[in-house]
Amino acid sequence: MEPQQATATPEPQSPPTATSDDKGSPDSSPEMDFDHDAADLTLPLAPCWAVNDSHSPPPSPSRLNQTLSVPTSPLGALSLNNTASSICSLQGSLNASLSPPPSPCGLPLTLENLPPELLLHILWYLEPKFIVFTLGRVSKFFHALVSEPITWKIRMGKRWPRGQQYPPMEVPDDFNWQQACMEREETDRLWSDPKENIHHFTLDGHFATVDAVHLIQNGTMCVSGSRDRTAKIWDLSKLTPGEPVPYDAVVKSLEQHRGWVWCLSSLDNILCTGSWDTAIKLWDLNANCQLIMSVKERSAILCTQILQDILVAGSYDKRISVYDIRADYQPITTLRQHQKPVLCVAADEDYIISCSEDKTVKVWDRRACQVYKSIQLEKFCMSMWYGRGMLLLGDRRGQVHMYSTGDGGFEEMETIEAHGNKVTGVHYTLGGLYTCSTDKTIKVHEPCSQPAAICTLAETKGEVADICVQAGVVASAHSDFSVGIWRPAM
C-alpha cells in the first residue's frame, strides 16, 4: 500500500534542557560560534516511513544501507580492520562526546540522527574544507564528528584503498588527520588535471643556467640563483594568467657575487646565498635586501642550511662548516669525513646530515660533532629533503631513497623509481611527493608508501636543476635560463 500524505505538521518542540551529564556544554567543548538555525538540518525530502502509518513499516537498517549503497567491505588502508569496526569506534566516540538532540516525535528526521555509516556516506560527496569550515560549525554534534581522527582515516581509506601506508613514516599520537586529509585531497584534485587547475608561468630574466630556486613569504615571492652570478627576487603576486610577465615582477637583483650562485636558503627575513666565489652572503629581506654579512670560505659553496642558532654550509673541498648565528656568524666547527665534494646539507636541533659525491650520507651528532651514522649508496646523492620523521635522497640513477628517522634510526623504508636520469630536487608535503630531474620532467607522486605518479610535467625545454614547494606553489630552475612557476588557480 502506498503511504499516505502527511496532513499536519507536528508542533515544534523546544530543545531538551541541558543536564550536568551533557558533555556538549560550553565548559567541556571548544569555543565555537554555531549557526543554531542551521543546526536543525532536515532531509530535503522527508522519508516516507516518517509518517505514522501502520501499513508502511520503516525499512530495516540493512535494507536502508543496501538502498543507499553504503560500503561494508574492508577499507584496506591506514591499518583499519574494516568499515564496520571503524564506524563502531566512531559511534562510540561520538556517544562519549555528546548525544544528538531527539527529533520531533522521536523520528529520524535530521542529519544528526542518521546512522554513522549513512552519514559518512553522505559526507563522502562533500569537499573536506566544506565539512570542516561549514558543516563543523553547524552544531556541536558535527563539530565532534569532524574533530574525530577516525572520521578522516575512514575517508582516506575509502578514497585510496590500495593499502599503502600514509603517511609513509610513523606519526605521533597528536598527528592532525583532518589537515592531512584536506591537504592530500586538495593536492590530488589540483594535479590530477593540472591544465585545468594550475596556472603555469615562465620567468625569463637570467642570461645563464638557473641552478637554484627558493620560495619565501608563503609562496608569494621566489628567489632564483643563476650562473650569471646574480640572484633575483620575483614578486609572484604580479603574475596574471594569460598575460606576459611584467617587467616589475623582478623586485630585486642581487649582484654582489663573483661566481655562480649555486644554492639558496632562508629563515624568516634572512636570505642566504652560496656561490662558487667561495662566499656565503646573508641579506635582510625586510630592509630592501641589504647585505648583513659575507662569510668567506676556502672553496666553492655548494649547499647551505640556516636555522635559528646555526648556519651550515657544504663546500667543494669536502668540508662542512658550522657558524654561530647568535655570535655574529663566528665559526663553531668544521666537520671533515667526506672524501669528495659535499653536495647537500640539512640540519635540525639534533643532527646535521650531509651528502657527498663519495656516495655516502653522514648523520652527525650536533653536540658531539661526530658521525652518528653513515649510509653507503650505490650512486651518489644529488638532492635531499629532511623533515616529518623522514629523510629523502634523490640519486644520479633516478631513484629516491626513503628513510625513517624516528628514534634516530635512519633505517631505509623503500626505494622509489622516480625518473630516468639524475634526481636534482625532492620535496615532501602531506599532499604529495615532488621530484625533478635532468630528464626534463617534474613529477608529483602520491605521499604514501609505494607511491604512484599523480602527474608528470614534461613541458620544460631544458633540464630541471632544482625544485621548491611552498603553500601549494611549485618553483623550478631550468638550464634554458628560465624559472618555472606552477600556482593553483583561484
What CATH number corresponds to the domain at position 461? Answer: 2.130.10.10
Residue 331 covered by a domain: yes
Q: Are residues 360 and 420 in the same domain?
A: yes
Residue 31 covered by a domain: no
Residue 8 covered by a domain: no
Q: Are residues 218 and 361 in the same domain?
A: yes
Q: Are residues 123 and 201 in the same domain?
A: no
Q: Are residues 44 and 150 in the same domain?
A: yes
Residue 13 covered by a domain: no
Q: Residue 30: its pLDDT value, please? A: 41
pLDDT in tens, 56-100: 343 333 333 333 333 333 333 354 444 455 555 665 555 555 455
Whole-angstrom Cα distance, residue 221 to residue 208? Answer: 21
Residue 30 covered by a domain: no
- For residue 475, give Cα distances in angstroms to 7, 232, 366, 436: 63, 13, 31, 11
- Other Cβ atoms less than 10 A from the Cβ of 449: the count is 17
Residue 157 lies in domain: 36-163
Mean pLDDT of 245-268: 96
**For residue 481, what is its C-alpha cell?**
635560463
Q: Are residues 124 and 250 in the same domain?
A: no
Q: Are residues 223 and 153 in the same domain?
A: no
Of 121, 147, 163, which closes a domain? 163
pLDDT in tens, 114-163: 888 888 888 889 999 999 999 999 989 899 989 999 999 989 988 998 88
Q: Are residues 194 and 108 in the same domain?
A: no
Residue 176 covered by a domain: no
Q: Residue 88: its pLDDT value, please? A: 58
pLDDT in tens, 183-206: 999 999 999 999 999 999 999 999
What is the SS3 assignment for 482? strand
**For residue 292, what is its C-alpha cell?**
648583513
Whole-angstrom Cα distance, residue 470 to residue 214? Answer: 9
Position with higher pLDDT, 39 vs 174: 174
| Cβ-count burial 378-395 (b if 16+ within 10 Å, e if not) | eebbbbbbbebbbbbbbb
Residue 315 covered by a domain: yes
Q: Are residues 357 and 447 in the same domain?
A: yes
User: How many domains would you assign to the chain?
Assistant: 2
The DSSP-derived string for 213-266 is EEEETTTTEEEEEETTS-EEEEEGGG--TTSPPPGGGEEEEE---SS-EEEEEE
Q: Are residues 304 and 403 in the same domain?
A: yes
Total count of residues recorded for the chain: 490
Q: Are residues 334 and 465 in the same domain?
A: yes
Q: Are residues 148 and 219 in the same domain?
A: no
Q: Are residues 124 and 208 in the same domain?
A: no
* Amino acid of residue 237: S
DSSP symbol at 78: T
